Chains A and B, each alone.
Chain A
Amino acid sequence: MSFLTTRGLTAHYGDFQALFGVDIMLNEGETIAIIGANGAGKTTLMRSLSGVLRNSPEMITLDGRKIGAMSADEIVPLGLAMVPEGRRLFPSLSVEENLLIGAYGRKIEGYWNLEKIYRLFPILAERRSSPGTALSGGQQQMVAIGRALMSNPRVLLCDEISLGLAPVVIRDIYAAVPRIQESGASLIVVEQDIGQAMKVADRVYCMMEGRVTLEGTPQSLSRDDIHAAYFGVGA
């Protein structure tokens, strides 16, 4: 059953139009990947979904409810949490406080709590009293994911969680994705690293210049299809 949908989603930064009528949908328990080159509109789409950017109410619906115009602090309690691009930890808070603040907008108890996050990423338990920003990039990314999970989201939005990390670190972080999926959360994963995205996703959307240019299951899409949708040229 589709429960998160965008319909004709547009977004602007001043005079610049970043999204031109994007239609995507996410089923309960599903993981979708959104791939595309720099400037394709992936991050803008995530910012719209999470309420950082406001849109018209009817452009985004969650369980039939129009949430397009809501702000981030209204959307988190409804069950959408974002792992933002660049992690954005709170420098004056410890690792543990960074995680705890994630539960701020939470209205209901659910699967995730501090204990479960520490089991997912045991290194964070060791570093729990350190300032969040004293950690390595990969560990900071784990905190950012844990912080979003602490709100017990129904949908976890992951914006470029592999950005700037070494391949071995990316592999560690993606190793956690199946366990997040098992907890019942749906995921939207935005990636430039197509290989990682294809491994975890049930379906893939490819974006270019603010539009969805291709959609399908990882198995059904050929390299050439993706190449064409990604770069806008035939292979």
Chain B
Amino acid sequence: MAGMTRSSPYEVTTRTRASRITAVAAVALLALLVVLPLFAGRGLIQDMFFILTMLVLAQFWNLLAGYGGLVSIGQQAFVGMGAYAMFGGVILAGMDPIPAILLGGIAALIVAIPTAFFAFRLQGPYFAIGTWVIAEVMRLVMAQAKALGGGTGTSLPRTATREMWATEWIAGALDVRNSAARDILTYWLALALAAATIAAIYALLRSKRGLALSAVRDNPEAAKSVGVDAGRMKWFVFLTSAFGTGLAGALIYVQKARISPDAAFSVTDWTAYVLFIVIIGGIGTIEGPIIGVIVFFLLQSLLADYGSWYLFTLGIIGIVVMLVAPRGIWGLITERTGIQLFPVRRRLSGGSLKED
């Protein structure tokens, strides 16, 4: 789109003053998070790992549902397939768990192709249920994989986790035990994945393709008539989300080091919580999932002792937010203040529009 405004006093921009402050603050925050393991305890690092990986899942579900209009409740399929592919790489092929994470992303991407082929024939609520059914099928299939523990699951071999890339170096450099070094390594990877995810989605939404994505979500036929290939957009978003979700799933299970079909394909853990995060934070915004994951984590810490009342409370909060503030907490904040940290709206600046 830059070519359009060349040699003109006008400039199409998405930047705002708040976004420049955000950029500076984001770099500072990122630097702080990178050095966090130097002074934080192991508990905090594990909590941060949980927050960051849930944030990645939430950002990808938001891309899918909030921007692509594809409301899937079967994202646990890609968490599970990513995790199982990583386990397969380690147990069956003798890979190191860290490069095997990439295998997880690729595996999720590959199973997403037939999934999309079937699910795209369905619309709206049928699509949502269809994706769930496909995820259940994958859970049942993986429960048959005897080499990976079948229905009861399995653990990563001790040698594989102990000799994992860079753990020895971290243990030596920070003077911590091997198990703590593993937590720090997975935390850093989660931090890198979360930062890369947000940066990539932000870049996508600011691009021409992001605009096309919103157009397809609003009205597929009108989008076509301005030259947007709506079908290709849906495929692009679905496969991208599957790849990212698969990477996150594999990373989560490197840290857990133990897998079972019920846990890896859990609709509650990998889709219901993620929906909650995106909906209370604000669907269709990058800020929403960030706020949502913090609220979710606080609620989880507060209500941890109350068992199923915890899920009950989450459900009530989710419903109330949908009714009272359908655009979530971040929606309320932007309405009141007009602040946008990740502005993707385009504005024309400079020049004068008067007839000369």
Q: List 6 A-B contacts (CB under 8 A).
A: A76-B226, A81-B226, A92-B218, A113-B4, A129-B347, A148-B226
Complex interface: chain B residues within 8 A of A84 (CB): 222, 225
Query: Is B346 touching A73 in the complex (CB atoms < 8 A)?
Result: no
Query: Is A100 touching B5 in the complex (CB atoms < 8 A)?
Result: no
* Further contacts, 12 of them, CB under 8 A, given A52-B224, A73-B224, A113-B8: A73-B230, A88-B219, A88-B222, A91-B218, A93-B214, A93-B218, A94-B346, A97-B346, A100-B346, A103-B1, A106-B227, A118-B353
Complex interface: chain B residues within 8 A of A77 (CB): 227
Query: Is B5 touching A105 in the complex (CB atoms < 8 A)?
Result: no
**Using a CB-CB cutoff of 8 Å, which residues 102-141 of chain A contact chain B?**
102-106, 109, 113-115, 118-119, 122, 125, 128-129
Query: Is B225 touching A71 in the complex (CB atoms < 8 A)?
Result: no
Interface size class of B (residues with CB under 8 A): 20 to 34
User: How far, in angstroms, from A195 to B8 measured CA to CA in the complex?
Assistant: 39
Complex interface: chain B residues within 8 A of A125 (CB): 353
**Using a CB-CB cutoff of 8 Å, which residues 141-192 of chain A contact chain B?**
147-148, 151
Query: How many residues on chain A are close to B (CB under 8 Å)?
Result: 40
Query: Is A73 touching B353 in the complex (CB atoms < 8 A)?
Result: no
Complex interface: chain A residues within 8 A of B227 (CB): 72-73, 76-77, 81, 104-106, 151
Distance from B205 Cβ to chain A, minimum over Cβ atoms (Å): 11
In the complex, B93 has a CB within 8 A of chain A:
no
Query: Is A109 touching B212 in the complex (CB atoms < 8 A)?
Result: no
Interface string of B318-356 (1 = CB under 8 A from A): 000000000000000000000000000111100101010
In the complex, B91 has a CB within 8 A of chain A:
no
Known contacts A73-B229, A76-B227: A128-B5 contact under CB 8 Å = no
Complex interface: chain A residues within 8 A of B1 (CB): 100, 103
Complex interface: chain B residues within 8 A of A103 (CB): 1, 4
Task: Name A's B-contacting residues (CB within 8 A).
Answer: 50-52, 71-73, 76-77, 81-82, 84, 88-94, 96-97, 100-106, 109, 113-115, 118-119, 122, 125, 128-129, 147-148, 151
User: How far, in angstroms, from A104 to B211 measured CA to CA in the complex?
Assistant: 9
User: How far, in angstroms, from A21 to B284 measured CA to CA in the complex?
Assistant: 46
Complex interface: chain A residues within 8 A of B228 (CB): 73, 101, 104-105
Query: Is B226 touching A122 in the complex (CB atoms < 8 A)?
Result: no
User: How far, in angstroms, from A100 to B224 measured CA to CA in the complex?
Assistant: 15
Query: Is A101 touching B4 in the complex (CB atoms < 8 A)?
Result: no
Q: Chain B residue with minimal CB distance to A103?
A: B4
Query: Is B211 touching A50 in the complex (CB atoms < 8 A)?
Result: no
Distance from B334 Cβ to chain A, minimum over Cβ atoms (Å): 13
Distance from A91 Cβ to chain B, minimum over Cβ atoms (Å): 6
Complex interface: chain B residues within 8 A of A88 (CB): 219, 221-222, 225
Query: Is A90 touching B214 in the complex (CB atoms < 8 A)?
Result: yes
User: How far, in angstroms, from A89 to B222 measured CA to CA in the complex?
Assistant: 8
User: How far, in angstroms, from A113 to B7 measured CA to CA in the complex?
Assistant: 12
Interface string of B1-22 (1 = CB under 8 A from A): 1011100101010000000000
Distance from A14 Cβ to chain B, minimum over Cβ atoms (Å): 18
Interface string of B204-238 (1 = CB under 8 A from A): 00001001101101110111111111100000000
Known contacts A73-B229, A76-B227: A122-B353 contact under CB 8 Å = yes
Q: Chain A residue with minimal CB distance to B344?
A: A97
Distance from B222 Cβ to chain A, minimum over Cβ atoms (Å): 4
Distance from A44 Cβ to chain B, minimum over Cβ atoms (Å): 15
Complex interface: chain B residues within 8 A of A104 (CB): 208, 211-212, 215, 226-228
Find B215's partner among A90, A114, A118, A119 (CB 8 Å cutoff). Answer: A90
Query: Is B226 touching A71 in the complex (CB atoms < 8 A)?
Result: no
Find A101's partner among B211, B284, B348, B351 (CB 8 Å cutoff). Answer: B211
Find A128's partner among B208, B215, B347 (CB 8 Å cutoff). Answer: B347
Complex interface: chain A residues within 8 A of B8 (CB): 113, 115
Complex interface: chain A residues within 8 A of B346 (CB): 94, 96-97, 100
Known contacts A52-B221, A93-B211, A100-B12: A115-B353 contact under CB 8 Å = yes
Complex interface: chain B residues within 8 A of A94 (CB): 345-346
Q: Chain A residue with minimal CB distance to B216?
A: A90
Query: Is A128 touching B348 in the complex (CB atoms < 8 A)?
Result: yes
User: How far, in angstroms, from A97 to B355 measured CA to CA in the complex?
Assistant: 23
User: How far, in angstroms, from A77 to B225 measured CA to CA in the complex?
Assistant: 11
